Structure 1
Amino acid sequence: MEIWPAIDLRGGKCVRLRQGDYQQETIYGEPVEMAQKWVSEGATCLHLVDLDGARDGSNANLAAVKSIVEATKVPCQLGGGIRDEHSIERMLAIGVYRLIVGTKAIKDPAWFREMCRKYPHQLAAGIDARNGLVATDGWLETSGVSAIDLARDFQAEPIAAVIYTDIARDGMLQGVNLPAMTDMKRAITTPVIASGGVTTVDDIRQLAAAGLDGTIVGRALYEGTVTLQGCLEAAR
C-alpha cells in the first residue's frame, strides 16, 4: 500500500485545516522544505492540495507546486482547482504526476469522462463524502449523490484512481472510517486511495489489510502521532 504524505498549500505556505475549515488553519512552514523532509524520510510519492484552488478555482500556489516537483523528483499528485482543460495541461506540463478532479467531475461528469479519455491514467476522481454523500466546492456543499454510486459511474473510464476522503474524520485525529473505505474498495475495480483520519500506525495496518491501494497521511505526521517510517513499515 502506498503512503502519500500530504502537503496542503494556502497562500504559498504549507498548512493544515480542520475538517476543511479555512478558519481553522495551522501553518507549518515552507512547502519545499516540508516536501524534502518527507522524501528524505523515505516518501516515494507526495499528495499536494491547492486549498486556494479548491475554494475559488485559482492557481495561487502554482509556483509552490512547481518548486516541489522540481526539488523532490518523486511522483506528486495534486488536487484543488482542477476545473478546466487548461489547468490540466498547465499542471501536467510542470511535471505533476497525477491530477485529482473533484468538484468539476461531480458537476460535469461528461466533461470528466472526456478528459479521462484524453489524458488516460493521469486523472483521479477526488470523491469527498460526508455520511456517504458527496461534498463539493472545497467541502462547502453536500450533494445528494452517493459516493459509491459516483465512483461506479467512473470506473469504466481510464482513470488513475479514486481518492476517497471522509470529511468528518479529516484533520481530526480520530481514526479512519474503515467501513466506508472498505465498502468503496469492494464496490469498484479502480484503485482506491483512502484519505481522512489516519492517526496511528494501526490505522495504516487496517487499511492495508482491507486492500486499499494507498492512503494519504496529513495531520498525524505534522502533529507527530505517527512517523513516516512507522507508516511505511505498517503499509508493508
Structure 2
Amino acid sequence: MIILPAIDIKDGNCVRLLKGDFGTVEKVAEDPFVTAKTFREAGAEYLHMVDLDGAKDAKMVNRDLFTEMAKETSLKIELGGGIRTLDAVEYYLSHGINRVILGSIAVKNPAFVKEAVKEYHGRIVVGIDAKDGMVATEGWLDTSDVDYLSLAKEMEQSGVKNIVFTDISKDGTLAGPNLEQLAAINQAVSCDITASGGISNLADIKALKKLGVWGTICGKSIYKGTLDLKEAIQVANG
C-alpha cells in the first residue's frame, strides 16, 4: 500500500481544514518545500497536493507553487483542485506533476473525464468526495444527488484506473477512516482506490492495508504527530 503525505495550499500556505470547511483553515507548516523534503527523508515516494483556492474558484490559483514543487522535489506529485480544462491538465502534466485529480468536473462533465483519460491514461485520477454517500463538488461547498458508488462505476466505464475516495465527515477529524464505504467502493470497481479522510494512527494504516486499498492519504495525523510517517510507510510496505 502506498502512503501519500498531504500538503494542502491556501493563499500560498500549507494548511488543513476540518471537514472541508474553509472557516476552519489552520496553518500547519511554515514552508511547503521544507515539509515535502521531510516527507522524502521519511521514505515517501508520493506527495498528495491540493489547491484549495483553485477548488473554490474553479481555476489554477497556486499554479506556480506546484510546478516549482515538481522541480524542487523527487516526489511523485498528484495534484487536485480547480483543474477543469484540458489545458489545465496538459499544463500540469507537462510541468512535472505526475498525476492530476479531477473532482467536480467528473460529476458536472463526465465526457471531459473520458476525453482526458483517452489522452493521458493512468495520469488521470478521479476524486470522489462524499457527504452521507452523496458526491460533493466545488470545494465541497455543493452536494449533488449523485451516489458515490454510481459515480465510481461510471468513471470505471470511462477508463479511469485510479480513484481517491474521501468521506468528508471524517476529513481532518482524526476519527478514523470510513472503512465501510471504502470497502464498498473497493469491491464495486476494479480501479485502484486511495483512502482519504480521518486517518489518525498506525491502527488505521493496518486496517486500510487489510482492506486492500491501493493507497492512503495522510495529512493532519502527520502534522499533529498522531502518526509517524516513517513507521506508516514501513507498515504499509510490510
CA contact (8 A) 1:9 1:50 kept: yes
Structure 2 residue aligned with 1:16: 16
Q: What CA distance in whole angstroms lies between the structure 1 residues aligned with 2:9 and 2:207?
A: 28
**% same residue:** 38
Supply the distance in 2 between the matched residues of 1:53 and 1:18 (Cα, whole angstroms). 18
Paired position in structure 1 for 2:105:
104
Cα deviation 1:70-125 (Å, max 9, x = unaligned) = 11112100000010111101111111000000001110111211111111111111
1:175: which partner in 2? Answer: 176
Displaced runs of 4 or more, over 2 A = 156-160
Contact 1:123 1:161 in 2 (8 A): yes
Query: 1:72: which partner in 2?
Result: 73
Q: How far apart in 1 are the matches of 2:229 and 2:89?
A: 30
Superposed CA deviations along residues 102-155 of structure 1, whole A, max 9, x for unmatched, are 001110111211111111111111100011110000001111111011000111
Normalised by the length of structure 1, the TM-score is: 0.97
Distance (whole Å) between structure 2 residues aligned to residue 40 and residue 148 of structure 1: 37
Aligned match of 1:26? 26
Question: Any residues of structure 2 matched to 1:47-86 within 5 Å, and which?
Answer: 47-86=48-87
CA contact (8 A) 1:3 1:45 kept: yes
1:125 matched to 2:149? The reply is: no
Gaps of 5+ in 1: none
Equivalent position amino acid for 2:7 in 1: I
Q: Who is 1:93 aligned against?
A: 94
Letter in 2 for 1:106: V
Contact 1:195-1:216 at 8 Å conserved across structures: yes
SS at match of 1:138: coil
TM-score (norm 2): 0.97
2-structure distance, mates of 1:70, 1:45: 14
Alpha-carbon contact 2:113-2:158 (below 8 Å) kept: no
**Which structure 2 segments of 5+ residues have no match?**
none
Matched AA of 1:137: E
Q: Distance in 2 between matches of 1:145 and 1:159?
A: 18
How far off its partner does 1:197 sit? 0.4
**2-structure distance, mates of 1:189, 1:92:** 24
Q: Secondary structure at the match of 1:172?
A: coil
Aligned to 2:5: 5
After superposition, the CA RMSD in angstroms is 1.0
Distance across 1 between alignment mates of 2:46 and 2:114: 25
For residues 71 and 3 of structure 1, what CA distance do their matches in structure 2 show?
20
Counterparts of 1:230 and 1:201, CA distance in 2: 8
Amino acid at match of 1:79: G
| Aligned amino acid, residue 84 of structure 1 | T
Work out the CA distance in 1 between the residues paired with 2:147 and 2:58.
24
Q: d(CA) in 2 for partners of 1:83 and 1:59?
A: 9
Give the equivalent residue in structure 2 for 1:44: 45
Quote the residue 1:184 is aligned against. 185
Query: How much does 1:234 deviate?
Result: 2.0
Three-state SS of the structure 1 residue aligned to 2:157 is: coil
Number of residue pairs matched by the alignment:
236
1:52-84 CA distance string (max 9 Å, x none): 100002322112111211111121000000101
